[in-house]
A and B are shown apart, each in its own frame.
Chain A
């Protein structure tokens, strides 16, 4: 082995030109691969950080009746099944040490009605209690204009993305109550047509739930906001107070519960179509609701009157939600933690299940995997080219060294010795130049990370995994780079080994 290593090492210097060509290819390949892994890992970590910390938590609870786990970004906005037993869930979560904090929330597809008679625009509305939302997410929203809600009451926080869409496509410009448009925050296209814009300080939403309810509700615009990261994606998720949201979706609101509606009527209201059919003919179907009326009806009235509803003090948790966002404790692998949580939820028969943020956000959650796959294909293509060049260079080197190799074979070197010698030469090149490429890649990632490159461009933010470009290399990434380099070296050396191993003493004599 020492003999092989000696010959291999000295041959690298003897054939400097070829060594440098192969070395340069391996260096560049390893550098690109390592830096690429760093970008992808950074994007993955950034997406995770920004989605988990700024939009939906580590995991969320959805109703067992909910078909798809992709509750946030399912195409065509299929309704998310309601959760009517949040109080029981809340009580159970208090007894689950793996769950650090949680936030009940409504989320569904709604239509933003155009009061000028134009087309309605569809979007996903989030219904929350703002104080709890703020406590859960901190400062994930950046104020563009207006003020965050300070006390209860109806509100909508309109993201800049949706404001821009409504302005540019429908000629409707939303501004916070009592404030003129802040032109500095408007897109050039809207600024140009500002005088033609229909200014609105409240929005009218019509819910689209599973029962095809068409309840609508007017809510005052309190602020125009921007999600701190990934605003392009979340720009179609305005945040509405939970009571207005419930009215809009035709859900039972907390106010309705306060109005002492009979439980049988609440059940009837919340029941699915199939369940409703079952209820026809039941004797208590026409029983009095005790003077209370569903808030959805109140909501309908609010559109006609264009005024805010006066609300009694209510227990918000008595009403309907669609999901409960969770932040989990500890450093367990998320899938394992969620599996464990689901076992516990099943045992408690709460009618909900936990899904990870990746599943809940569909394509966005898988973005890192998709881009990683794309980069892998790109790097594989580069390596394919590199492998072809290395194969060609090494094969030529083997043929040029026919006299030397043939002589070695003549004096007693087996084919295996020649193959090991070639493998060692390529291995040393891979270790030295490829290793240097990996080190340079790690250094490049570290340097770029310290530059804290930021972007306001939403697509770039998606690639950054947030507003700041933070490439990141973990130990597994570096191990992966080393393995990829080893694989490339192995693939590149197979054919030249065959060429070198098949050189016979006679080839050397014939050439001589």
Chain B
């Protein structure tokens, strides 16, 4: 069963008098529980594709379906709710809310959902931080954490709502190899446990060994799937 489907996906950016064709017609189907790695050179359209799939950007043409929902037909409020309930994000650098502690950052999406008790939210956030090896850092603010620790907090936050999909843009770009590997291990473990679908965009060859499937993008088009 496909959790994500894109059909004829096009994204153009006006740049002065010219137009940049970032994505030029991508058809993609991603199965539930997949770990998909999107690779390609800089400027190939990886991040744009990720943004379109994650409902952060809207396509110029084509459709994106998350489950049975055509997200291109939704208004901002519904798209926001869809991101909250079904998608987890791990960004490359802009990761955490600076004024909240690691624990509060992880709690943040669950608090927005308003479905859970404070105790339940606290218990789950603490558990996830333990899972990513940050039990001792729950009261630290982002500025007091290393790059790897912040990224792990971001992973915990991405998973706290039990999303169907986790999108990660260069998740190991700012990490040393050991930390990067430990994070990828954690993701693979969660994929195995909860059938969470992970989609990475990466330059890092080490990430590829965790991927079940790989899509190579070049000039806004799928160059190869494996």
Which A positions have Cβ atoms within 8 angstroms of B?
3, 6-7, 10-11, 14, 403-404, 406-415, 417, 504-506, 508-509, 512
Contact = CB atoms under 8 A, between A and B. Distances in A.
B91 A512 contact: yes
A440 B77 CA distance: 44
B94 A508 contact: yes
B32 to A, nearest CB: 21
A158 B166 CA distance: 95
Contact of B98 (A14, A415, A417): A14
A3 B111 contact: yes
Interface residues of B, number: 32
B97 interface: yes
B70 interface: no
B51 A407 contact: no
A412 B83 contact: yes
Given A14-B98, A404-B97, 5 more contacts: A411-B84, A411-B88, A411-B108, A412-B112, A512-B91
B97 A407 contact: yes
Interface residue SS majority, chain A: helix
B73 interface: no
Nearest to B112: A412
Closest 9 CB pairs of A and B: A412-B84, A10-B99, A403-B94, A505-B56, A412-B112, A3-B111, A506-B57, A411-B109, A414-B80
Contacts of B76: 415
B131 interface: no
24 contacts: A3-B111, A7-B97, A14-B99, A403-B93, A403-B94, A404-B97, A407-B91, A409-B80, A410-B54, A410-B83, A410-B89, A411-B83, A411-B84, A411-B88, A411-B109, A411-B157, A412-B81, A412-B85, A414-B81, A415-B77, A415-B80, A509-B51, A509-B94, A512-B92
A403 B89 CA distance: 14
B44 interface: no
Interface string B82-115: 0111001101111111111000100011011100
A6 B103 CA distance: 14
B112 A417 contact: yes
A57 to B, nearest CB: 63
A20 B153 CA distance: 32
A506 to B, nearest CB: 5
B47 interface: yes
Contact of A404 (B89, B98, B111, B157): B98
A512 B56 contact: no
A10 B93 CA distance: 22
Given A410-B56, A509-B91, A512-B93, A7 B99 contact: yes
A7 B100 contact: yes
A506 B81 contact: no
B81 A410 contact: no
Contacts of B80: 409, 412-415
Contact of B77 (A10, A414, A509, A512): A414
Nearest to A407: B94
Contacts of A11: 99
A509 B100 contact: no
Interface string B152-181: 000001000100000000000000000000
A504 B108 CA distance: 18
B47 to A, nearest CB: 7
Contacts of B54: 410
